Amino acid sequence: MDYYDIFINVLSSTVRLSIPLIFTALAGLFSERAGVFDIGLEGKMLGSAFAAACVAYLTGSAWLGLGAGILCSVALSLVHGFASITNRGNQIVSGVAINFFIAGITIVLGQAWFGQGGRTPQLAPEARFAPIILPGADAVRDIPIVGPLYASVISGNNILTYLAFLAVPFSWWVLYRTRFGLRMRAVGENPGAVDTAGISVAWLRYRAVMCAGILCGFSGTYLAIAQSAAFIKDMSAGKGYIALAALVFAKWKPVPVMFACLLFGFLDALANFMQGKQVPLVGEVPVQVFQALPYILTCILLAGFIGVAIPPKAGGVPYTKER
Amino acid sequence: MSTASIPLPNWINYGLIPLLNLIVAFLISGFVVWLIGESPLAALSLLIEGAFGSGEGIGFTLYYATSFIFTGLSVAVAIHAGLFNIGSEGQAYIGGLGCALVALALDNYVPWYVTMPVAIVGAGIFGAAWAFIPAFLQAKRGSHIVITTIMFNYIAAALMVYLLVHVLIVPGKMAPETRTFLEGGQLPKLDWLMTMFGVKLGAAPFNVSFIVALFAAWFVWILIWRTKLGFEMRTLGVSSTAADYAGIPYARIVIIAMLLSGALAGMMALNPVMGSSARLQVEFVGGAGFVGIAVSLMGRNHPLGIILAAILFGTLYQGGDWISFEMPNITREMILVIQGLVILFAGALEYMFRPAMVHIYQQFKPA
């Protein structure tokens, strides 16, 4: 295989592997910018993947699957909101609880309903989001350099992939150009001031966690019925935490979030590609190095060695109205 | 006056409210069982039968509980200093490395009672070392301990898979694990203790590390409530500004608390590595580090509560196995569901019932 083909190959799997990270990290962005930490991203992603796969299998419709995924994830967000906003519980504990609950319930229900060891039955092609071939993809394939890039990386993805890349500027617009976004960011920095202005802190935070739920719904749906054709147990495999890492890495800003996710997706793609291959001078690089790299990078960043990542000031602190 | 600040007697705060939280968690779990089309009551009786119906069942229950006491104490020590250590899982995993290296080095030469203290120290040091970096980052660089400990869980997992696949594996074998320890590296079972109560242990791997766990709980109690260091940790946990004002060194206490937390998590490895499988395997921790979170929350961060909560979770693990064996419709993962609900109600929704309790209490309290 010549080098450019390899490059295109790795690039296209980078895109595929980054999409769930982008959705999930944007979800975390909304929640954390409003001052609600969300360790439960992993669970929401897994839960929506399960819901999406079940409904898509039963109805044969990918869109209904997406709806179910979003619904499930929003419901979990509301539980998180109820615990951490209304009851002022510990947000980390609530998130951990959601992760446990979902890791178990998806397998328990999956086994009880389908009897296939916790996975859902294989989906028919029409119950999935199929790749969209952009116009002219085949025609330009033979043009050097640009052709393969267009045909294999830009074209041939499913609709959720394009939505993910649209969600990035859209999130930026919501956060920085709408009244809702301004208030949401304010509530993550100084909820007292927002309260003084006569705006409900709780309602703002609830809306923020619901936004997070919707976005996580997309990422879970992508995992189950766009990337794969069934729900497989534990299919989120720590991606929720990687998205959290990407969020820290991007310093809680939408466009850097996209690049951080692409970087982590690239590491993942590279790990897959490098398996069993020799690198000149180094020899075979263990796949675990690539797997650990996003986490190590995030720790180094958090330590302030490559710029400072300052989280929203009121993050993790339940708001108590002064009496 | 808000309902949050009205004092309630201890038996409500530490007895009734946790019990109520637990009951709600169980009711919802029962609902899930019903949803699957099985009888919740039948499942409950299977759970109890599986966990306590035979000597072997009790042995397994206490075997699981042993691991959970260690990880529960680990989480609790950190919480007393105001730190949420999500990294017990990774610290226990790395602790297993320390434990296994000692066992591999000594099992040929000395009996188990010489190996064990060294292995406890080895496991503790390795676990503490893994907790040190997040602790240092929190204390000196202000990075959030929750995020860094999560990251370190994943780094630990990658590191251990690498070591077991490439370094510690027995040449010529496929399974990523170390060689089986000889007798000098295996902890004896507690048959005699079980026989004292007139039951047979059978194949259950209930072993000496249970006694070590009880000692660890006693040690934590002394540390937290009877020493200056413990007082400083608790002060820091209540209010870091107050601690600062009182001249308690923030960075030092954070690091010491996390080292202790990591060491306790690391010692958990004793139970599965030297007590049960007699070798180091991939993913031997099996989520016990996370169970520690539930155990610590349920036990209100008190060693005695932690022992009780650990036995409760041991019951769930062993009984859950039994249920999944008898009712194939209900898989083992039902434990995760219950665990999630317990964490949710006992931890995050801890105060949900408090206003109602205050209301009822005020109606009946002696004037």
3-state secondary structure of B280: coil
Q: How much is the pLDDT for A322?
A: 67
* Residue positions counted in chain A: 323
* B281 DSSP 8-state letter: B
Q: Do B334 and A108 touch (CB under 8 A)?
A: yes
Stronger pLDDT, B41 or A143, i.e. the higher one: B41
Minimum distance, in Å, between the CA of residue A214 and any CA atom of chain B? 22
Nearest to B348 among A90, A109, A291 (CB): A90
Domain ranges of chain A: 15-247
pLDDT string in tens for chain B (367-residue length): 455 567 778 887 777 888 888 888 889 999 988 988 888 899 899 999 989 888 889 999 999 999 999 999 999 999 999 888 989 999 999 999 999 999 999 888 889 898 999 999 999 999 999 999 999 988 888 778 888 898 899 999 999 999 998 888 888 888 888 888 888 888 888 888 878 887 888 888 899 999 999 999 999 999 999 999 999 999 988 888 888 888 888 899 999 999 999 999 999 999 999 988 888 998 898 889 989 988 998 888 999 999 999 999 999 999 988 988 888 888 888 888 988 998 888 887 877 887 788 888 888 876 5
R_g of chain B, CA atoms, integer Å: 21
Tell me: ipTM over 0.90: no
Q: How much is the pLDDT for B53?
A: 87
Q: Do A39 and B150 touch (CB under 8 A)?
A: yes
Residues B70 and B60: their CA atoms lie apart, in Å, by 16
Q: Do B336 and A323 touch (CB under 8 A)?
A: no
| Highest-confidence segment of A133-147, A163-177, B170-184, B317-331 | A163-177
Q: Do A303 and B143 touch (CB under 8 A)?
A: yes
Check pLDDT > 50 for residue A140: yes
Tally Cβ neighbours within 10 Å of residue A308. 12
Q: How much is the pLDDT for B3?
A: 54
Q: How much is the pLDDT for B1?
A: 41
Nearest to A302 among B148, B158, B293 (CB): B148
Domain ranges of chain B: 39-328
Contacts (Cβ under 8 Å, ≥6 apart) of B5: none
Contact residues on chain B for A94, CB-CB shorter than 8 A? 344, 347-349
Which sign does the torsion angle of CA B8, B9, B11, B13 carry? positive
Check pLDDT > 80 for residue A151: no
CA A204 to chain centre: 22
Contact residues on chain A for B161, CB-CB shorter than 8 A? 288
Q: How much is the pLDDT for A25?
A: 94
Minimum distance, in Å, between the CA of residue A235 and any CA atom of chain B? 15
| pTM for the predicted model, two decimal places | 0.88
Q: Across residues A263-285, what is the average pLDDT?
A: 79
Q: How much is the pLDDT for A293?
A: 84
Structure confidence by residue, pLDDT tens digits, A217-253: 999 999 988 888 888 888 888 889 889 888 888 888 9
R_g of chain A, CA atoms, integer Å: 20
Contact residues on chain B for A37, CB-CB shorter than 8 A? 146
Which residue out of A93, A106, A320 would a mutagenesis test of the B interface target, given it has the greatest number of B Cβ atoms within 10 Å? Answer: A93
Q: How much is the pLDDT for B2?
A: 52
3-state secondary structure of A116: coil
Of all residues in chain B, the one with the smallest CA distance to A305 is: B141
Which sign does the torsion angle of CA A179, A182, A187, A191 carry? negative
